[in-house]
């Protein structure tokens, strides 16, 4: 069977034969899969299984910092630049031993089984060692994003009543120290950096230990009985309480059991072809995000090596890498990688900008090769000559060895997905899952090059479509059944921590005892059993004249415009039109400004009414070519000079829009655009 035949075959079908479902993967119509290896049903057993099977193989890798210096930029800002060495590796056996000692040390410091412990730390090897220690000793791990605001952090720590927190030197100084007085139960802070110096201005009564000191404590002979008598978790015990950065309100803690995670990673692993111990994964997304944690646990369960990185050091051109030195992908040369669409959109726009700057001959060659490869892929053929002659340099951006790229966290545009498939010469598996389903739901197969779809249900889950009358979506719709996506299976989590009202709204148990989660997303199933996300209940706004506008749909269409880096559509039900806040692409905006002979800083150009009008006309053209309805096209816009990053609080760590925060931030502009001011 060639790739085209594989891509066209039926991948899932409704087990009830009703168009609403439930839909299951074609290879497990009878029963959902809850684990990969019999008896390996908790995370401590999974890590032990990997350590016994791959003891001397590289497990966790970190690059050595050779030098660090401040570099003055033309705009007067100072950027920290680093030169990094090779990766230093901790073996599976070494990582297992480190986790065991650390867990024993935490127990010696008074941490008790089934009592919560928090981690507030950047993505690094110590995060996984600490997490595995907690899994071994049955300490439920409370995860918090490093970019959460002080109110959200103290809320999570107080709600879960933690007495111990694991953090880094930088985060303790920059984020945690200021709120320690607001978390009265906190007694111990464990810093993962080796040998911290003194800690001034820490409130009295809080003890600070380094991770090394806690490991040393746990390795002492008089602590050995703690290691022997450790209370191993059951599959139903809570492994993680994951605080979602959430696009609305105060973050919610999702209770994820050992069994939930084992089921989720089993489903994900089945969708990655030939996954084995020769693979290398690059970890740089926040480990407090379910996509990154699940991806790394999938890798550990198969003996892969994980090399750590960060968005600032990922590639040779990354902001923190000193010019002329190597970024992390160039040194590690990963075969596996996860990315949120925001990062892939950036790669796509950067490369396409460089293509525009090529000579006429080079540009023609690139376009011919691009179109030729797209045609060959659609027929199920590969293009080795084209790849080595034209796309080799683009592929080198991610190290040159990437064979699978997993996309999740938000929808990926068709243009970006096609670009990644063609120019990076590796398939993109677009996934759909939520924290509430352990990140697992669907992943598209690697040989399915169709765009805009998220694949068939994983072997651990099944999906039902529920009619939504207000939005006009029904399972009886033609040509494809549509409705709200409900996900069921052993990967569906235990609910929200201390939030019974929300649990009753969003989760239910069916007559067979299976848990289900109501996602609020609207999907449609295609004839081959693949799911497409088409709307979101919360994104639907009814305009004054009665037309329904899907804000997510408007944004998805307009993000394909090269002038737009990010966009948030907004509408009031008492108004007759849509407005938008737009983060323009710096280079493209400056080119438009030059054409119009408008001069000034980025901020001055964004505040120029003439520029606002010109950008709106370009956006309107993009909306018409993207086939948006007349009432869906924004009538007024506000240009934003500052990009929306998780640090601004306007997007989540997965770069999903925080609509409530964006509305507050742009309240004056909303009033102006709707004629109030």
pLDDT of residue 677: 47
CA atoms of 338 and 407, how far apart (whole Å): 6
pLDDT in tens, 261-317: 999 999 999 999 999 999 999 999 999 999 999 999 999 999 999 999 998 999 888
Token code pair at residue 209:
């230990």
Residue 647, in any domain of the structure: yes
Domain range enclosing 611: 545-673
Residues 549 and 532 both lie in one domain: no
Residue 525, in any domain of the structure: yes
pLDDT in tens, 61-103: 999 999 999 887 777 777 889 999 999 999 999 999 999 999 9
Confidence of residue 131 (pLDDT cuts 50, 70, 90): very high
Residues 373 and 274 both lie in one domain: no
CA atoms of 645 and 483, how far apart (whole Å): 32
Confidence of residue 36 (pLDDT cuts 50, 70, 90): very high
CA atoms of 253 and 249, how far apart (whole Å): 12
Q: pTM for the complete prediction?
A: 0.86
Round the average pLDDT of the chain to a whole number and report it: 91
Q: Closest Cα partner for 319 from 41, 644, 71?
A: 71
Residue 322, in any domain of the structure: no
Contacts of 86 (CB under 8 A, 6+ apart): 63, 64, 331
Residue 327, in any domain of the structure: no
pLDDT in tens, 219-230: 987 765 555 567
pLDDT in tens, 345-373: 878 877 888 888 889 999 999 999 999 99
pLDDT in tens, 332-349: 999 999 998 878 887 887
Residue 75, in any domain of the structure: no
pLDDT in tens, 607-635: 999 999 999 999 999 999 998 989 999 99
List Cα–Cα distances, 146 to 69, 337, 342, 524, in angstroms.
24, 21, 18, 35
* In the block, residue with structure tokens 């009414």: 609
Residues 560 and 442 both lie in one domain: no
For residues 562-575, b (16+ Cβ closer than 10 Å) or e, as one string?
bbbbbbbbbbeeeb
Run of H or E residues at 291? helix 290-301
**Helix ranges, 195-248 (H):** 211-219, 224-228
Residues 503 and 458 both lie in one domain: yes
Residues 48 and 171 both lie in one domain: yes
User: How many beta carbons lie within 10 A of that of residue 615, not counting itself?
Assistant: 24
Residue 38, in any domain of the structure: no
User: How many beta carbons lie within 10 A of that of residue 596, not counting itself?
Assistant: 14
CA atoms of 631 and 246, how far apart (whole Å): 29
Contact by Cβ (8 Å): 422, 353? no
Least confident interval from 101-110, 218-227, 406-415, 668-677: 218-227
Average of pLDDT values for 454-482? 95
pLDDT of residue 1: 65
Positions of E strands within 478-560: 482-488, 495-496, 507-509, 515-525, 531-536, 540-542, 548-550
Choice between 538 and 407, residue whose per-residue pLDDT is larger: 407
Q: What is the CATH number of the domain that holds 582?
A: 3.30.300.30
Residue 315, in any domain of the structure: no
Contacts of 625 (CB under 8 A, 6+ apart): none
Residues 503 and 583 both lie in one domain: no
Average of pLDDT values for 407-435? 89
* In the block, residue with structure tokens 């052993």: 490
pLDDT in tens, 430-447: 999 999 999 999 999 988
Confidence of residue 208 (pLDDT cuts 50, 70, 90): very high
Residues 522 and 552 both lie in one domain: no
For residues 265-304, b (16+ Cβ closer than 10 Å) or e, as one string?
bbbbbbbbeebeeebbbbbbbbbbbbbbbbbbbbbbbbbb
Residues 296 and 166 both lie in one domain: yes
Residue 220, in any domain of the structure: yes
* In the block, residue with structure tokens 């640090």: 647
For residues 528-555, b (16+ Cβ closer than 10 Å) or e, as one string?
bbbbbbbbbbebbbebeeeeebbbbbbb
Residues 402 and 483 both lie in one domain: yes
pLDDT at 197 > cutoff 50: yes
Show the 3-state SS of 396-436: HHHCCCCCEEEECCCCCCHHHHHHHHHHCCCCEEEEECCHH
Q: Are strands 579-584 and 456-457 parallel, antiparallel or unpaired?
A: unpaired
Residues 235 and 100 both lie in one domain: yes
Show the 3-state SS of 433-468: CCHHHCCCCEECCCCCCCCCCCEEECCCCEEEEECE
Q: What is the CATH number of the domain that holds 282?
A: 3.40.50.12780
Residue at a domain's end among 254, 289, 308: 308
* In the block, residue with structure tokens 């997905």: 417
Residue at a domain's end among 536, 563, 578: 536
Distance of CA 174 to the CA centre of its chain: 24
Residue at a domain's end among 517, 536, 555: 536
Share of the chain above pLDDT 70, in %: 97
The conformation of residue 1, written as its DSSP 8-state character, comes to -
Residues 505 and 549 both lie in one domain: no
pLDDT at 236 > cutoff 90: yes
How many structural domains is the chain composed of? 3
Contact by Cβ (8 Å): 171, 145? no
Residues 663 and 592 both lie in one domain: yes
């Amino acid at each position: 069977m060639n790739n085209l035949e594989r891509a066209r075959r039926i991948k899932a079908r409704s087990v009830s034969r009703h168009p609403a479902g439930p839909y299951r993967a074609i290879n497990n119509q009878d029963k959902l899969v809850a684990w990969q290896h019999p008896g390996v049903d908790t995370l401590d057993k999974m890590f032990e299984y990997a350590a016994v099977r791959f003891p001397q193989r590289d497990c966790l890798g970190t690059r050595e910092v050779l030098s660090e210096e401040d570099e003055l930029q033309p705009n007067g800002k100072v950027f920290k630049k680093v030169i990094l060495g090779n990766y230093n590796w901790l073996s599976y056996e070494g990582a297992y031993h480190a986790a065991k000692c650390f867990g024993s040390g935490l127990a010696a410091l008074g941490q008790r089984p089934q009592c919560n412990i928090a981690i507030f730390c950047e993505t690094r090897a110590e995060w996984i060692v600490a997490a595995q220690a907690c899994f071994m000793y049955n300490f439920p791990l409370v995860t918090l994003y490093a970019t959460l605001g002080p109110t959200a952090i103290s809320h999570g720590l107080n709600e879960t009543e933690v007495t111990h927190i694991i953090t880094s030197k930088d985060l303790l100084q920059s984020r945690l120290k200021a709120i320690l007085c607001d978390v009265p139960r906190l007694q111990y802070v464990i810093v993962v950096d080796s040998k911290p110096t003194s800690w001034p201005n820490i409130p009295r009564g809080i003890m600070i230990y380094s991770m090394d000191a806690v490991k040393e404590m746990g390795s002492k002979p008089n602590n050995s009985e703690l290691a022997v008598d450790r209370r191993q978790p059951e599959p139903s015990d809570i492994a993680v309480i994951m605080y979602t950065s959430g696009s609305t309100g105060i973050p919610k803690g999702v209770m994820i059991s050992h069994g939930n995670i084992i089921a989720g990673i089993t489903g994900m692993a089945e969708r990655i072809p030939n996954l084995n111990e020769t693979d290398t994964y690059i970890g740089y997304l926040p480990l407090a995000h379910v996509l990154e944690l699940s991806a790394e646990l999938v890798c550990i369960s198969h003996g892969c090596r994980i090399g750590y990185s960060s968005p600032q050091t990922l590639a040779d051109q990354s902001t923190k890498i000193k010019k002329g030195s190597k970024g992390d992908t160039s040194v590690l040369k990963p075969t596996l990688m996860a990315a949120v669409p925001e990062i892939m959109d950036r790669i796509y726009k950067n490369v396409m900008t460089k293509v525009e700057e090529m000579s006429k001959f080079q540009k023609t060659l690139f376009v011919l090769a691009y179109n030729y490869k797209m045609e060959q892929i659609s027929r199920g053929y590969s293009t080795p000559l084209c790849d080595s002659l034209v796309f080799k340099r683009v592929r080198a951006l991610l190290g040159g060895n990437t064979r699978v790229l997993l996309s999740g966290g938000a929808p990926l545009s068709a243009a970006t997905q096609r670009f990644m498939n063609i120019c990076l010469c590796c398939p993109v598996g677009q996934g759909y899952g939520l924290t509430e389903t352990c990140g697992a739901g669907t992943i598209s197969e690697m040989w399915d090059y169709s765009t805009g779809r998220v694949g068939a249900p994983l072997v651990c889950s099944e999906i039902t479509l529920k009619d939504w009358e207000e939005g006009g979506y029904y399972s009886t719709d033609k040509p494809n059944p549509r409705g709200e996506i409900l996900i069921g299976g052993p990967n569906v989590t235990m609910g929200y921590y201390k939030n019974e009202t929300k649990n009753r709204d969003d989760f239910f148990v069916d007559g067979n005892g299976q848990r289900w989660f109501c996602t609020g997303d609207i999907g449609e199933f295609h004839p081959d059993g693949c799911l497409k996300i088409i709307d979101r209940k919360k994104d639907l706004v009814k305009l004054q004249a009665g037309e329904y506008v899907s804000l997510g749909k408007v944004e998805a269409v307009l993000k394909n415009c090269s002038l737009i880096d990010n966009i948030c559509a907004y509408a009031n039900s008492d108004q007759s039109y849509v407005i938008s806040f737009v983060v323009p692409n710096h280079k493209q905006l400056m080119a438009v400004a030059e054409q119009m002979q408008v001069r000034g800083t980025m901020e001055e150009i964004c505040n120029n009414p003439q520029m606002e009008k010109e950008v709106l006309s370009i956006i309107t053209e993009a909306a018409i070519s993207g086939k948006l309805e007349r009432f869906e096209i924004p009538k007024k816009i506000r240009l934003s000079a500052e990009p929306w990053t998780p640090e601004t609080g306007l997007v989540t760590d997965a770069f999903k829009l925080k609509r409530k925060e964006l509305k507050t931030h742009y309240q004056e502009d909303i009033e102006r655009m709707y004629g109030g001011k």
